[in-house]
Amino acid sequence: MKRAQLITGLVLVAAVVVTAVVAVFWTPFDPLRVVAGQRLLAPGWPHVLGTDGFGIDIASRLMVGARTILLVGIISVGVAAVVGVPLGMLAGQAGGWVDEVVMRVSDVVYAFPALLLAMLLAAIYGGSTVTAMVAIGVASIPAFARVARAGALQVMASDFVLAAKSSGTSRWGVARRHVLPNIAPLIGVQASVGFAMAILAEAALSYLGLATPRPNPTWGNMLRDAQNFLFVAPLQALWPGLAIALAVLGFNLLGDGLRDYLDPRLREVP
Amino acid sequence: MSLLEVRDLRVSFGRRRVEAVRGVDFDLDDGQRLGLIGESGSGKTVTALAVMGLLPENATVTGSVRLRGSEIIGAPEAALAQLRGDAVSLVFQEPMTALDPTMRVGRQVAEVLRLHQGEESGPARERVISMLAEVGLDDPARIADAYPHQLSGGQRQRAILAMALINSPDLVVCDEPTTALDVTVQALVLQKLDEVLTVSGAACLFISHDLAVVSQVCDKVMVMLDGQVVETGTVAELFTNPQHPYTRGLVATARLDQTRPGQRLPTVEDFYAPDTSVGERP
Amino acid sequence: MHLALRIARRTGVFVVSLLGASLLIFLLTNALPGDVAQVLLGTDATPEAVAQLRAQLGLDRPLPVQYFSWLGGILVGDFGSSHLSGLPVLTLLAPRIAVTLWLVLFGMIGSLLIAVPAGMVAALKRRSWPGFTISAAAQLGMAVPVFWGGILLVLVFAVWLHWLPANGYVSLATNPAQWAAHLVLPSLTLALVQAAVLIRYVRSAFIEVLNEDYYRTARSIGWTPMRALFRHGIRNASISLVTVLGLQVSTVLVGAIVVESVFTLPGLGSLLLTAVNQRDLLVVQGTVMFLVLAVLAISALVDLSYLLIDPRQAAASEQGEGSA
């Protein structure tokens, strides 16, 4: 059962990644060029999923959307990890008031949903892929910091760290050689789960028009477009949403599966 | 027909069929007090749970357990639920965790009446308070309105006793009811148990690892070892003429006060060495 | 008097978090590259107009002064004003609070009505098909974006069945039946998505109850598994349930904002969105501050509500435990 979870997750994630990579080089049709006379075609051939209100092939737009989603996910998770993990390690290793301060600040940011941050940024700079990435990245920092800190605390209490410290290893050495390798699996799991959240956040932001502007396709803004034609071409609303759900499901299952696989003791909710 | 008839009861757990009870037979008549003695892992608790139909899902039960002629094993849950709290009730070992911490004690005791007699909280309260007094609790009204964490272990166990007896069951199954209590409180609770059982005329299946404790409440005793009954007899018979070596060990350790000063205290192992080739215990 | 101490402590945490959040919002708006006045006036404003606005809004003062001035305003209820309409933020928010509140309220109640029974069944039948199905459905539900969920519901109930309106809002005072009709789909959307998250926690909380001795006691007096779980499980499981709800407050808020957009409900979310699109920076700043304030306040209240649910918490604050 647990293995099935992990495998399903891997398959779904792989599907998204492969689609995104392929989309860099090729899509069946031009995802941006308006084609008169081809509007709102039902699924069939050659447009497997039909065309949208501008006559553009939906499948091609979906593929490009995968590219954007992946980009946003990688950057925002990357930012969150690069900033959050060292902060969390610092808090866990140093303890005392450093820990207190880091965690308080982290809690404040944690209370800030990515959406609100993104809205603030969009009000100043105008919504774009960049503002979305920054907002999601910053909003995800506390989660990574928390995981890194919890892991660091566990490692710091273990015997081999005590041995390392008493043999004179510097704090930095302990961090690099003992804490980091041991919390890496935890971070990996958080990265997968964080990726899923980033996808959902980006989708919501682009649905609201606060992320990648049209005509560039993202799964979120494709749904917004589809909503305008809901009574005329209902099927259009199916594909982007399905894509989002499957991608998120994939990363969630991957994260859960990794968690169970790496250390059964870490399982939080059976 | 006896109140309780157990024939060839066998219980095993899990896919690997780890055997906990390996063929137990006994009868229990109305008003009779039967003790079931054994150490942890002997299968005594499992036997008690089997009598109530409360074994977990992964248990495989064969044999027959008849309560007033109705077969317990394999009976539908609805039928069993009717019997529990009405014909048979159960008192467990851990008073500290046996009560719902978010519910007042009186209300929990009244639940039995509510469930089986349909009595509402108002009239039931009088009965609850008088029952709490019967089990020897001072200021029963205050106890009824208290939450479990406000009571001591002995008080909680007596409240549970009240809950078990308030609906006049035919059979009360007690699984190590005093083991978790202080010695002085133990004596008090046992005395009260004896009293209320006599008054209500209920039968009792009393499970323990301590022969001295069992002898205070029961007339007849069964000794269980490794899932089987190895000896049966009255308390007097067991003390004067124990047959099985394990029983002899139990008797010796029940009478520690008879050891001469300077002598080493006896242990069960002096009389009976456990067979280490027996399979795992669940 | 430990109880008072704990209330004071939690309130303290609330205040500190609030200050921290306000600082964050202020810095994001004012300390990042990009001039506030420029943004408000747009790209084709003359430099003189920008300079004039800067002076008018006090943007030439040192940052700390600006911050405390803004903070002071908030304490007296002045969250800033719209540059476009001149109206104070609170005035703009007032009529819309009710809409968002209804949505969140019905959404949360709906999610509990779905998640608690589902979680109970998932716990009781965790080793058989009903349990697996419910857990899988919850997993799937968590992956569905809330706006897609809304669109699908519109597809089924508005486009296909014509039972309910696809968007819009009618106030309670104007027409209760219409008001209810317009709130059903949005609330259901929010409820379903929230329920998917909650089911996991409800399930594990009830599984814990199943392993407790007091559950066994309940079974032994004659309750069937479902009823024993219901009678004794709900109150004991509600502690962890309340914890989760507290953690979910900001998620629910975000969900509400998105749902308002899907169904064009005139709530706080749509105000915010419009302000963002119009670059009405001060309204955005004020509204975000208001929303964060609400989230933090609700979290604090949820934390404090533990003392009501669990009698042991209140008792632990009294002198010593119990009597002999």
Reported as a single tens digit per residue, the pLDDT across B184-217 is 888 888 888 888 888 888 899 999 888 888 888 8
Whole-angstrom distance, CA of residue C154 vs CA of residue C152: 5
Instruction: Give the angle C34-C35-C40 at the CA atoms, nearest 5°.
Output: 115
Per-residue pLDDT at A197:
92
Name the residue among C290, C17, C248, C288 with its Cα closest to residue A108.
C17
Does A82 contact C at CB distance below 8 Å? no
Whether residues C140 and C61 share a domain: the answer is no
Answer yes or no: do C161 and C124 share one domain: yes
Q: Between chain A and chain C, how many beta carbons pairs sit less than 8 Å apart?
A: 138
pTM: 0.81
CATH code of the domain covering residue C153: 1.10.3720.10
pLDDT for B279: 47
Question: Is C181 part of any domain?
Answer: yes
Q: Is residue C3 part of a domain?
A: no
How many pairs of residues across B and C have Cβ atoms under 8 Å apart?
Answer: 85
Choose the weakest-confidence range: B30-34, B101-105, B202-206, C304-308.
C304-308
Q: Strands B203-208 and B18-28: what pairing?
A: unpaired
User: What is the C-alpha to C-alpha distance for residues A2 and C132, in angstroms, rounded to an integer?
Assistant: 12
Note which residues in 276-305 of chain C have CB less than 8 A from chain A: 276-277, 279-281, 284-285, 288, 291-292, 295-296, 299
Q: Which of C75, C102, C125 is the last residue before a domain boundary?
A: C75
pLDDT band of residue A16 (cuts 50, 70, 90) is: very high
Dmax over CA atoms of chain C, in Å, equals 83
Using a CB–CB cutoff of 8 Å, tell me whether A127 touches chain C: yes
State whether C212 and C264 are in the same domain: yes
Residue entry with tokens 């107009």: C49
Model confidence at A265: pLDDT above 60: no
3-state secondary structure of B231: strand
Determine the average pLDDT of the residues in A218-235.
88
pLDDT for the residue A263: 65
The pLDDT, as a whole number, for residue A99 is 86
Mean pLDDT of B116-132: 82
Touching B: which chains, 3+ CB pairs < 8 A?
Answer: C
Average pLDDT over residues B149-172: 89
| CA C300/CA C297 separation, integer angstroms | 5
At C106, is the pLDDT very low, low, confident or very high (cuts 50, 70, 90)? very high
For residue C25, the tally of other CB atoms under 10 A from its CB is 21
Q: What would you measure as the largest C-alpha separation in chain B, in angstroms? A: 61
Question: Which of the two residues, C311 and B177, has the higher pLDDT score?
Answer: B177
Question: Do C200 and C161 have their domain in common?
Answer: yes
pLDDT at C104 over 70: yes
Put simply, whether C166 touches A (Cβ < 8 Å) is yes
**Inter-residue contact B55 to B61 (CB < 8 Å):** yes
pLDDT at C309: 61
Identify whether the C-beta of residue C53 lies closer than 8 Å to the C-beta of residue C37: yes
Q: Is the pLDDT of residue B15 over 90?
A: no
Cα distances from B13 to residues A74, B54, B60, C87, C217, in angstroms, run 49, 13, 6, 73, 22
CB contact under 8 A, A223 and C24: no
Span C257-281, mean pLDDT?
Answer: 90
CA neighbor of A206 nearest in space, from A87, A61, A101, A83:
A61
- Biggest CA pair distance of chain A: 77
Closest C-alpha among A136, A129, A137, A15 to residue A68: A129
CATH number for B1-87+173-234: choose from 3.30.870.10, 3.40.710.10, 3.40.50.300, 2.30.40.10: 3.40.50.300
- C256 and C307 share one domain: yes
Asked if residue C203 is part of any domain, the answer here is: yes
What confidence tier does C206 reach under pLDDT thresholds 50, 70, 90?
Answer: very high
| Structure confidence by residue, pLDDT tens digits, B212-264 | 888 888 889 998 888 888 888 888 888 888 888 888 888 887 777 777 788 88
Q: For residue C268, tell me if it sits in a domain.
A: yes
C324 pLDDT higher than 70: no
Q: Which residues pair with B173 in a beta bridge?
A: B90, B205
C133 at the A interface (CB within 8 A)?
Answer: no
pLDDT digits (tens, 9 = 90+) for C287-310: 898 898 888 888 888 878 776 666
Record the tokens describing residue A34, joined without a space: 């308006």
* C223 & C143 share domain: yes
Range of the domain at C33: 14-75
Q: Do C213 and B92 touch (CB under 8 A)?
A: yes
- Position C217, amino acid: T
DSSP labels, C32-94: SSS-HHHHHH-TT--HHHHHHHHHHHTTTS-HHHHHHHHHHHHHTT---B-TTT--BHHHHHH
C-alpha dist (Å) from residue C166 to A206, A225, A230, A231, B116? 21, 16, 10, 10, 51
Nearest to B147 among C218, C225, C311 (CB): C311
Please indicate, yes or no, whether residues C271 and C149 belong to a single structural domain of this protein: yes
Is it the case that residue C145 has pLDDT exceeding 90? yes
The confidence score (pLDDT) of residue C314 equals 55
| A73 in Cβ contact with A191 (< 8 Å) | no
Q: Span B130-148, mean pLDDT?
A: 88
Pairwise CA distance, residues C284 & C273, whole Å: 8
> Which of C224, C232, C310 minimises the CB distance to B77?
C224
Please tell me the distance in Å from C112's CA to the nearest CA on chain B.
20
Structure token pair of residue A105: 């600040």
Tokens of C213: 């001795």
Question: Residue C105: enclosing H or E segment and its boundaries?
Answer: helix C89-124
pLDDT tens digits along A57-90: 888 899 999 999 999 999 999 999 999 999 888 8
**Coil, helix or strand at residue A259:** helix
Q: Which three-class secondary structure state does DSSP give residue C218?
A: helix
CATH of domain A2-25+49-266: 1.10.3720.10
Picking from C20, C143, C250, the nearest residue to A105 by CB comes out as C20
| Pair (C238, C306) in one structural domain | yes
Q: Report helix angle A219-228 to C146-154, nearest 10.
A: 20
Tell me the pLDDT band of B276, cut-offs 50, 70 and 90. low
Residues of B in contact with C213 (CB under 8 A): 92, 94, 97-98
Q: Which of C216, C311, C324 has the CB atom closest to B152's CB atom? A: C324
> Does C168 lie in the same domain as C30?
no
Q: Which amino acid would we find at residue C176? A: P
B37 contacts B245 by C-beta, under 8 angstroms: no
The residue to which tokens 């990794």 are assigned:
A258
Which one-letter amino acid corresponds to residue C277? N
Contact (Cβ atoms closer than 8 angstroms) between residue A230 and residue C151: yes
For a pLDDT cut of 90, what percent of chain C falls above it? Answer: 25
- Where does chain A have alpha helices with state H? 2-25, 58-94, 96-110, 114-125, 129-156, 159-166, 171-174, 180-208, 219-228, 238-262
Question: Given CB atoms, is C53 within the 8 Å cutoff of chain A?
Answer: no
The residue whose two tokens read 């005395």 is B191
Tell me the nearest-neighbour CA distance from B59 into chain C, angstroms. Answer: 14
Residue C278: per-residue pLDDT: 85
Does residue B147 sit at the C interface (CB-CB below 8 Å)?
Answer: yes
Contact present, B and C (at least 3 Cβ pairs less than 8 Å)? yes
Mean pLDDT of chain A: 85
Out of C75, C100, C126, a domain closes at: C75
DSSP B265: P
Query: How far is it, in rounded angstroms, from Cα C168 to Cα C174?
Result: 14
Residue with token string 């139990």: B250
Per-residue pLDDT for A161 more than 90?
Answer: no
Residue B274 confidence class, pLDDT cut points 50, 70, 90: low
More confident residue, C145 or B215: C145
| Mean pLDDT value of segment A162-187 | 78
At C51-65, the pLDDT tens digits run 877 777 777 788 888
